[in-house]
Structure 1
Amino acid sequence: MWIKWLSVGIFFVLQTTGGAVHAQVFPQKPIKLIVPFAAGGSTDMVARLLAERMGPLLGQSVVVENRAGVGGVLGADAVAKAAPDGYTLLMGTVSTHGASPAIYKKIPYDAAKDFEPITNVMSVPSVLTIHPKVPAKTLQEFVALAKAAPGKYSYGSPGNGSLGHANVENLLQLAGIQVLHVPYKGGGPALNDAVAGQIDALTDNLPSTYPHIQAGRLRPLALLSPQRSKLLPDLPTYKEAGYPEMDEGGWFGLLAPAKTPRAVVLKINAAAHQAMQDPAFKARSDAIDGIAMANTPEQFGEQIKKALARYQRIAKSANIQLD
C-alpha cells in the first residue's frame, strides 16, 4: 500500500513542479519570433528592438523571421500551429488579433483560443492625414467637406481588410460621410500616393508619416491614440475631436501557441519586461512616440478581447468582410 501512495506522491510532485523545471531549463536553443508583416515596418522594428535585448537575458538568440501575407494571418497561423514549447513566438498586433479575425470569413486560427498572451510591448499611434490640396485644417472641416460632396474625396489603405481600412471605415460610419476607398498592396505605396496627391487622405502609423508631416507634404487631422503625441503635441486625438469610440491605437505584443507551459510564459514575460527597461529600448521607443505597454498575460488577454469585440462591431456596421 505504501508503494501505491509513494507513486501517487511522486506523480503529484512531478505534475506540480514540471512547469517550474521546464522554466529552469528553458531556453536551450534559439527562439524564433515571427513577425507577420514585411521587414522594415513598425511591427518588424519593434520585434527586432525587443529581440536584440531579450536574447542576452534568456541566454539564447531570439531570431526574427518575417512571414507576411493576408493582413498578418499567415504568420499568426504559423505560430498557432507551432509546438507549444516557447521556441516559436508571435509579435501580434491589432491586425492579427482584432481586425483580421473580424474581417476574414475563413481565418485559419482562433485569435482568442489558439494563443497564450505573454505581454503587450508597445502602442504606436496612427494618424489621419490629408494632402495639403484639400482645403481643411481640422477633422471637423474635413468631415464638413465630405458631407457636402459625398464620394468626391478618397482615402488609401494598405489593402482591403487592413487595419487602415477598418479604422477609416469606423470614422466614416461615426461621422456619416462617404469617402472613396482606394486599396493598395501595402502601406508604402499608399503613403507614396498620399504624398503625391493621388489620394486625398490616409491613416498610417505615426512613425511612417511623421517625416512627411514635418516637411509639409501631409497635414495631420487626428491621432488614433488614448493620449496626445509628444511629436505632435497640438494634434487632437479622435476622442478630443468628438469620436470617443476611437480611443486606441495600434499595439504590438508577444504571444505563444496555446498550451505553452505557464512557467515558460512567465519567464518570457519577465525577460521582455526587463528588455523594455533598457535605456536604448526606451530611447528608440521615444523616437517613434511609442507608449510602453508592459503588462501581465491576463491583462494582455483582456486587451485582445477588447480589440476583437471592437473590430467585430466595425466590420459588421461597415459591412467589411473578405473570403
Structure 2
Amino acid sequence: MQRRQVFRVLVAASAAFAACAALPAAAQTHYPNKPITLVVPFPAGGTTDIVARIVADKLGQQLGQAVVVDNRGGAGGSIGTAYLAKAAPDGYTLGIATASTHGINPAVYPRLSYDATKDFTTITNLASVPNVMSIHPSVKATDMKSFIALAHSQPNKLAYGSAGNGSVSHMMGELFKMSSKTELLHVPYKGVGPALNDALAGQVQVLFDNLPSSLPFIEGGKLRALAVAAPKRVAALPNVPTFAELGLPEVNDAAWFGLIAPANLPADLQGKLNAAAIKVLALPEVKAKLEKLGATPVGNSPAQFAAQIKSEVAKNKRVAVAAKISLD
C-alpha cells in the first residue's frame, strides 16, 4: 500500500514538473509577448520616420504589444540597416526599408556591410510617395517636351540639384538623363533642404525631389512641375502627367517605405506580421495620415515586396555603372 502511494506521488510530481517545464516553451510560441523594436535607419522627423511612427502605433494595437521606434541614422541609412541585419530573427526587431537602403546603397557602396536581397525577411511594402521633377519658372519650357528640346540645345547648361551623391534625387536625375538622352549638370547638396532653397532661388534650374517637400512651392507657383513618378496622376496636381505618360517609364518609380525583419524569420511570424500590417494600412485614420504626406498605402505580399527590392537593386546598379557613381 505504501509503495502504491509513493508511486502515485512520484507520478503526480513528475507530471507537475513536466507541466511547469512546458510553460516557458508555450509562452514562446505566443508571439508577441513583449514589446517590438522598429529600427528606422534615418533621424527622427524625416519622411521615413513619420511613416514608421504612423504605422508603429496601430501595428502595436493589432499585435497586442507596443512597437517602439528606434532611430539609428547615418551613412544614407546603412548604419541602422546593418544593425537590423545582425539582429535575432525572432520577430522582436523589425525595420524600415527604403529605396535608399535597399535600392541605391547596394548599387553605389562597393563595401556595403549588408546584402539587401539576402540579409532580410520581407514583410510588406507599407507606402509609396511620388517623386517629382520641377523647374524654376525662369526656364523657358512649359512642359516636358519643350524642356527636353531645350536641354538638347544646351548640353550641360541646365543644372539639377540633388540631396547629395548617391541620394534618391541624384539617381533619379541620372536615370532621367539616360532615358531622355539629355545632358544636365549635377549639383549635389547636403540634404534636400539646401537643394530646394537653391532651386527656388534659380541657382539650379531643375530639381528632383519627393513630392511632399516640393508640393507647397509648386502650388505657390515658385516651381513648375513637369512630371511625377507615380502609378497615376497625383490628386494635388491633376494636370501634371506621370513620367510613364510622357514615354519615360524608367523614371516612373515612386519612393517607398517597407517593413522588413532579419533573414530567417519563421514563416508563421512573417505571415502574422504581414496580415497585421495590411490591416493597419486599411484603417481610415492611417490612410488619412499617409495621404496627408502625399503617400499611398500599398500592403503587398512578402514575395511581391522581395521582387520589388530585387528589381530596385538591379535598376540602380545599371544607373550607377552608366553614371560612374561609386561611394566609399
TM-score (norm 1): 0.90
Does the 8 A contact of 2:131 with 2:210 survive in 1?
A: yes
**Is 1:174 paired with 2:187?**
no
Given candidates 181, 189, 207, the residue that maps to 2:194 is 189
Given candidates 124, 135, 138, the residue that maps to 2:129 is 124
Kindly tell me: are residues 140 and 32 of structure 1, through their superposed partners in 2, closer, same or farther at Cα, counting changes over 3 Å? same
Given candidates 192, 203, 207, the residue that maps to 1:202 is 207
Find the counterpart in structure 1 of residue 152 from structure 2. Answer: 147
CA distance in 2, matches of 1:270, 1:245: 31
Kindly tell me: are residues 213 and 188 of structure 1, through their superposed partners in 2, closer, same or farther at Cα, counting changes over 3 Å? same
CA distance in 2, matches of 1:125, 1:65: 26
Secondary structure of 2:250's aligned partner: coil
Find the counterpart in structure 2 of residue 160 from structure 1. Answer: 165
Does the 8 A contact of 2:281 with 2:298 survive in 1?
A: no
CA distance in 2, matches of 1:274, 1:21: 26
Given candidates 36, 41, 44, the residue that maps to 2:46 is 41
Does the 8 A contact of 1:128 with 1:202 survive in 2?
A: yes
Deviation at 1:138, TM superposition (A): 1.1
Kindly tell me: are residues 22 and 164 of structure 1, through their superposed partners in 2, closer, same or farther at Cα, counting changes over 3 Å? farther
Find the counterpart in structure 2 of residue 13 from structure 1. Answer: none
Matches within 5 A, 1:7-18: none
Specify every segment of 5 or more residues in structure 1 that has no aligned partner in the other structure, as ranges: 1-19
Deviation at 1:225, TM superposition (A): 1.4
Q: Is 76-85 or 37-46 further displaced after alignment?
A: 37-46
Given candidates 99, 107, 110, the residue that maps to 1:105 is 110
Deviation at 1:292, TM superposition (A): 2.0
CA distance in 1, matches of 2:304, 2:144: 33
Return structure 1 stretches of 4+ with deviation > 4 angstroms: 20-24
CA distance in 1, matches of 2:194, 2:39: 24
**Is 1:253 paired with 2:258?**
yes
Deviation at 1:34, TM superposition (A): 1.4
Given candidates 312, 316, 319, the residue that maps to 1:307 is 312
CA distance in 1, matches of 2:171, 2:28: 39
**Is 1:76 paired with 2:74?**
no
Query: What amino acid maps onto 2:300 in structure 1?
Result: N
**Is 1:211 paired with 2:216?**
yes
**Is 1:317 paired with 2:317?**
no
Secondary structure of 2:228's aligned partner: strand
Does the 8 A contact of 1:84 with 1:260 survive in 2?
A: yes
Query: What amino acid maps onto 1:290 in structure 2?
Result: A
Secondary structure of 2:244's aligned partner: coil
Does the 8 A contact of 1:133 with 1:197 survive in 2?
A: yes
Computing the radius of gyration over CA atoms, which structure comes out larger, 1 or 2?
A: 2
Count of residue correspondences: 304
CA distance in 2, matches of 1:47, 1:185: 23
Summarize deviations over 1:187-238 as a string: whole Å, max 9, x none.
Answer: 2222222222222111111111111111111110111112111111111111
Q: Is 242-251 or 48-57 further displaced after alignment?
A: 242-251
**Is 1:61 paired with 2:85?**
no
Find the counterpart in structure 1 of residue 296 from structure 2. Answer: 291
Kindly tell me: are residues 207 and 22 of structure 1, through their superposed partners in 2, closer, same or farther at Cα, counting changes over 3 Å? farther
TM-score (norm 2): 0.88
Deviation at 1:23, TM superposition (A): 7.7
Summarize deviations over 1:231-265 as a string: whole Å, max 9, x none.
Answer: 11111111111212223211110000001222112
Kindly tell me: are residues 152 and 22 of structure 1, through their superposed partners in 2, closer, same or farther at Cα, counting changes over 3 Å? farther
CA distance in 2, matches of 1:233, 1:171: 22
Secondary structure of 2:38's aligned partner: strand
Secondary structure of 1:251's aligned partner: strand
Specify every segment of 5 or more residues in structure 2 that has no aligned partner in the other structure, as ranges: 1-24
Find the counterpart in structure 2 of residue 240 from structure 1. Answer: 245
Deviation at 1:130, TM superposition (A): 1.1
CA distance in 1, matches of 2:72, 2:202: 31
**Is 1:86 paired with 2:85?**
no
